[in-house]
């Protein structure tokens, strides 16, 4: 197990290196002078030349990439052209907002998608089965940006039930502890802040969770239908075990391998979907930051954040692979 884990960690290195090369090349293939795009109205010939020299933009692409990766390997993600702040400092400030949103969306997706898939499989052909699968198909088909706008318009503008921008009400004072507002409010016993946080989190989390929820529900249903036809399930029923015990103790665990795989893959979907969701709901996370940095051609931010998101995705996939042994004793790693 340990040897397998070490080999998989070493295999992450070429994956991340390949991602960094692709992102670097795509950014530099965008038409136009990046120095002038970064400077905007201040783009004089002298300022542009000074910026190219400062960021090494006057060097060949191979030299620029080598300089960038050399800094990354030393833990230096560079400085944002837009704000002049270290990218690592802004990442530490913005990532908790994205992590909280992604965790809330994933909890919603798993908490609703898995039970819906189980009930649909055990009541195959029922009205609930047909209705939930129609909703799942609609959830997969709806673009996040359209759903986010509709949720903001209906619940925020028309009904005025929920706020649809920012993480807290305007003027609210908050001293970060972990950066995760839900956890901070619970630790401090500030229930008013907790209610306010949940209200602001509700709409973006629902919008972001819709596609993963639908995929998880459909995968859970399919996996459960396959397992329920196996001999050991029929044997458990023949022994007189209750339906709940058969499903919870026998069928569900064996059906979870493909479901866990899908859940792991949805981490990347959540982080990519967060760019649209955070932009729509003015959520101060890394998704909105990446979007604004792409518009501004802020190379250090875009390159570093893409590499950071890629690292999260590949590490999550590794953890999913390692979880197979806990779910199925027949799985052995060599």
Q: Per-residue b/e over 290-328, b at no fewer than 16 CB within 10 Å?
A: bbebbebbbbbbbbbbbbbbbebbbebbbebbebbeeee
* For range 121-130, the mean pLDDT: 88
What pLDDT, on the 0 to 100 scale, is given for residue 252?
A: 79
CA distance 19 to 101: 25
Relative orientation angle of helices 191-228 and 87-122, to the nearest 10 degrees: 50
- Please give the Cα distance from 292 to 202 (Å, whole number): 24
Decide which of 8 and 62 is more confident: 62
Instruction: Note whether 133 and 218 are within 8 A (CB).
Output: yes
The encoded tokens of residue 274 equal 């967060």
CB 283 within 8 A of CB 164: no
Distance (Å, whole) CA 103 – CA 178 = 15
Domains observed in the chain: 91-279 (1.10.3720.10)
The per-residue pLDDT for 44 is: 73
Instruction: Read off the pLDDT of each residue in 287-306 and give the average, rounded to a whole number.
Output: 83
Written as six digits, the tokens of 169 are 């009400």
Per-residue pLDDT averaged across 176-193, rounded?
Answer: 89
Q: Specify the higher pLDDT residue, 241 or 210.
A: 210
325 has a pLDDT exceeding 70:
no
Question: Is the pLDDT score of 15 beyond 90?
Answer: no
Task: Look at residues 207, 195, 199, 204 and name the one whose alpha carbon lies nearest to residue 281.
Answer: 204
Is residue 328 helix, strand or coil? coil
- Provide the pLDDT confidence category of residue 110 given band limits of 50, 70 and 90: very high
Average pLDDT over residues 193-210: 92
- 244-279 pLDDT, tens digit per residue, is 777 877 787 778 888 888 888 888 778 777 888 888
pLDDT at 112: 93
């Amino acid at each position: 197990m340990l040897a397998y884990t070490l080999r998989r960690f070493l295999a992450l290195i070429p994956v991340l290196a390949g991602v960094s090369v692709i992102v670097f090349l795509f950014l530099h293939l965008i038409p136009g002078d990046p120095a002038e795009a970064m400077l905007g109205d201040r783009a004089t010939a002298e300022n542009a030349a000074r910026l190219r020299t400062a960021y090494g933009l006057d060097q060949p692409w191979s030299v620029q990439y080598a300089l960038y990766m050399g800094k990354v390997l030393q833990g230096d993600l560079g400085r944002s052209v837009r704000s002049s702040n270290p990218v690592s400092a802004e990442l530490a400030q913005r990532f908790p907002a994205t992590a909280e949103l992604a965790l809330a969306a994933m909890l919603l997706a798993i908490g609703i998608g898995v039970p819906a898939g189980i009930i649909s499989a055990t009541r195959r052909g029922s009205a609930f089965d047909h209705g939930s699968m129609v909703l799942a198909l609609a959830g997969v088909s709806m673009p996040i940006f359209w759903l986010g706008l509709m949720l903001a318009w209906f619940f925020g503008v028309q009904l005025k039930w929920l706020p649809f921008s920012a993480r807290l009400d305007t003027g609210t004072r908050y001293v970060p502890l972990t950066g995760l507002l839900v956890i901070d409010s619970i630790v401090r016993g500030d229930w008013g802040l907790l209610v306010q946080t949940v209200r602001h989190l509700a709409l973006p989390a629902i919008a972001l969770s819709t596609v993963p929820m639908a995929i998880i529900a459909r995968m859970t249903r399919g996996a459960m239908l396959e397992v329920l036809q196996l001999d050991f399930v029929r044997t458990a029923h023949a022994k007189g075990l209750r339906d709940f015990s058969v499903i919870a103790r026998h069928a569900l665990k064996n059906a979870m391998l493909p479901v866990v795989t899908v859940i792991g893959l949805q981490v990347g979907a959540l982080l990519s979907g967060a760019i649209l969701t955070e932009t729509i709901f003015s959520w101060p996370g890394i998704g909105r930051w990446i979007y604004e940095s792409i518009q501004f051609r802020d190379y250090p931010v875009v390159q570093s954040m893409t590499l950071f998101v890629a690292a999260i995705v590949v590490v999550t996939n590794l953890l999913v692979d390692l979880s197979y042994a806990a779910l199925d004793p027949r799985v052995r790693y060599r």
